[in-house]
Each structure stands twice: as structure tokens, then as C-alpha cells.
Amino acid sequence: MQKFIIKGPNKAVKGEIDISGAKNSCLPLMAASILFKKKVTLRNVPFVKDVHTMRNLLVSLGSKIEFSESKKTMTITNNKNHNLTVPYHLVSTMRAGVLTMGPLLARYPQKKIKVALGGGCALGVRDTNWHLAGFRSLGARNNLDKGYVNISTKKGLIGGVYKFPKVTVTGTSNLIMASIFVKGSHFVKNISIEPEVIDLINFLNNSGAKIKFIGKRSIKIIGIKELINGTHNIIGDRIEAFSYLCAGVITSGKVKVKNINPNHLRTEINVLKKMGCKILAKENSIILTSAKKLKPIKIKTGPWPSFATDNMPMILAVLTKVSGRSQIEETIFSNRFMAAPELNRMGALIKIKKNKAIVVGQNQLTAADCISSDLRTTFSIILGAMAAKGQSKINRVYHGLRGYYKLETKLRKIGIKIKSKN
């Protein structure tokens, strides 16, 4: 199993990183291809592990997929009828597999769709109850049988109203996709407006869908008969971009991230500025220059435009080195501080009280052997290891490879002393 070995403390990083397409845009866009009878072409595809898992899932449902990693493109053709069972082994390794529910229901409303339930994950309980309640608001019925949800309708999908009790990202994408061919119009309230959801809406609207904003978090979806050929350029990955900016901060370096819309990181950029970093945001890039003396900060995660929960583990690592007392409040997931015990093994001082982390910055961290338990925790531990004195070994880095394209190569490009070992 692949391990990373990092020698620290790393000198100030310097350089530029090409940010890949957003994994969390790519996965729903791939699932959305099920809605099309014609070809879908995606550009700026990040060929990370989760994207390959989604590819396998779509192929198992009957899609034909061609791709070129060097050109960052993928074409998906769905001219045959799909298998309507989404197997457990593909949903259990990647929760985003549930995103096939909505498009399968939209395309085959009168048939029985069977999707394995993903269960919990390292971040805590991850339910799909609001996805299913959303489908019910369109007239679908569902029942659970041996770990699979069966979904079907009697008379097809009919427009109505649904309000999400709390913002859910994939729940929103799933319900939008389910509603594309609805009879009449469907109104959905309290939706996620993360840039990745907007990316999906733009793709569908450019392909003939009629999704209109009627409020900040409310949309009206007017049912259409068929989507036309779909082509889309995936937005840059704001989580990947922030991760590399944090490498710049923790090593007191200077880093430029390219192919990223700075507006997608506006809250995070303000946080970094408040800490004392200099930021130059251009149309499609961000240049960060860290400061020798950074200030502690208070952060609360939340749905976009708040500070992203996915960016929290990285700022947590950075704050372990910022003198003074910082505080992070996590409002999305019940178990998102898994990097804390690993960073504490390097000498960080992080105390967790319910959904809050209190971080007291230390002058020096010391290297340790660590275990990564999820995607963003991997990067958080890497950041700790960059700052720690000595050689740290990070185990189970495959979690990181689910969502960071060419992680090792990109880190090395900005001067991180990293080696990998099997």
C-alpha cells in the first residue's frame, strides 16, 4: 500500500500549480450523462480515482465511455437502455454513486430502479433521506430491500414543490436531475448553491434544460422532452486550489494556483488575508505570499458561500503553526476532525469539544508516522509533515488519490520533499 515520506521542515515553497477540474463537479456531470440519448463530452476532466470509479459504475449500467487523460476529455454515449441496478460494491467505495438515482429515475420513470445504499463513511452518518423525500415530491415511491432502495412511479414524474430541510449538495444535484423531464414544473427550495451545483445547472441549461432561479436558493424546473448533445468544460477544483495555497502559507512561501475562479474561494481568501497573507486574485488564478507572522483566526464552516467543510482540514493544519488561539466550528459533518489526533502526534495542540476545535499554535512540530483516514485528512497530514522537523511517514494515502490528481508530482513541483513507497 502506497505511503508518502515527507522530510521537514520544508523550506518556503515557490512555484505554480495547474489546478485540475473539480472532482465534485465531474462526478454529477458524469451521472447526468444518463439523461442524454446522445453523446456527452466533458472537458477538463480530473482523472482521479473517484472519476474512474464513476466511469466503472456507468459502464456497468451500460454507458459507452471513451477518454483521453492527456487531453483531459471524456465522451459518454448512452444510446442503449441502461441496467437499472446500481451495485453495492461501486456505491460503497464512493458515495457519489447515489448521484445515478436522479437521472435513472428521470429517464426510466415507469421502471423499477434499484440503487444500493452507501451507508456511513469516515465523515460520519451520511443519509440519503432528503434525496428520497425529494423524489417522492415528484410522485416517486421508494422502499428498502436488503440494503437496496427500490424507486419507481405509477404515473411518471409530476411537478410539485420540495423544500430541503437543510442544504445538501448531492441531494440538490440528484433532485435537479430527476426533475428534468417532469410533467409540468417542479419547484425546489433551500438548494445548495455550491459552484459545483451551479456548474451542473449551467451544463443542463446549455443542453436544453429549463432550470430557472426564482430566489437565492429556490429554482423552478420546467419539464422538457429531451436534452440535446451535451458538451461542458468542468470548473477548476476550489478544494485542490485551497490545499496548495495552504502549502504556501504553512511554509511561509509564495505559490500561484492557475485555472481557478477566485470567486469560488472568496471566503477562504478573506480568511487568509485576515491571517496576514498577501493575495493577488486575477481572473483565473490566485497568487499567495505568506507572512512570517500570521494571526490566529475564528472560522465556521457552512454551505457555500461560507467556508467549505472540505477546506477545513487544511486550515486546521495551518493553524497548528500560527501562534495564539484559533477556533474552528464545523457545522456540516459529525466527524470531520480526524486529522486532529494525527497532527497532535506531531506536537500540535488541538482540542476537540463537540463540533469545535481549539488550536493553540506551536513553534515547532516534530515528524511522526501517521495514518490517513479520508481524502482531505490526507492533505491535512501532508501539510503537518511539511512543517514538522524530521521524516514523517503517511500511511493509507490512497484516500488522497481519490480526489487529488498527480498529488505527489504537484507537491514536488513547488519544492516539497516528498517520496512515495509501496
Are the C-beta atoms of residues 274 and 297 closer than 8 Å to each other?
yes
Does residue 14 belong to the site contacting ligand EPU (CB under 6 A)?
no
Rounded to whole angstroms, the Cα distance separating 418 from 396 reads: 15
Is 166 a residue that touches ligand EPU (CB under 6 A)?
yes
Q: Does 376 bind ligand EPU (CB under 6 A)?
A: yes
SS3 call for 394? strand
- # residues contacting ligand EPU (CB under 6 A): 23
Helices within 265-329 (DSSP H only): 266-275, 312-319
Measured at the CA of 403, the angle between CA 399 and CA 406, to 5 degrees, comes to: 95
User: Three-state SS for 156?
Assistant: coil
Q: Per rule CB under 6 A, is residue 38 in the interface with ligand EPU? A: no
CA separation for the pair 172, 191 (Å, rounded)? 6
**Three-state DSSP class for 33?**
helix
Determine which residue in the list 199, 240, 310, 408 makes contact with ligand EPU, applying CB under 6 A: 310
Q: Identify residues 179-208 at the interface with ligand EPU (CB under 6 A).
A: none
User: Which of 171, 262, 347, 361 is close enough to bind ligand EPU by CB under 6 A?
Assistant: 171
Contact call for residue 235 and ligand EPU (CB under 6 A):
no
Tell which one of 127, 263, 282, 349 touches ligand EPU (CB under 6 A).
Answer: 127
Which of 39, 126 has the CB closer to ligand EPU?
126
The CA-to-CA distance between both ends of the chain, in Å, stands at 5
**CB nearer ligand EPU, residue 315 or residue 388:** 315
Preceding omega of 9 cis (within 30 degrees of 0): yes
CB of 150 to ligand EPU, least distance (A): 17
Using CB under 6 A as the binding rule, whether residue 126 contacts ligand EPU is answered as yes
26 classed as catalytic: no
The nearest distance, CB 8 to ligand EPU, in angstroms, is: 24
Q: Which of 32, 61, 145, 27 is nearest to 402 (CA)?
A: 27
The number of beta carbons lying within 10 Å of the beta carbon of residue 298 is: 12
Choosing from 4, 36, 47, 130, the residue that interacts with ligand EPU (CB under 6 A) is 130
Q: Which residues are catalytic?
A: 121
Contact set with ligand EPU (CB under 6 A): 24, 27, 95-96, 125-131, 166, 168-171, 309-310, 332-333, 375-376, 403
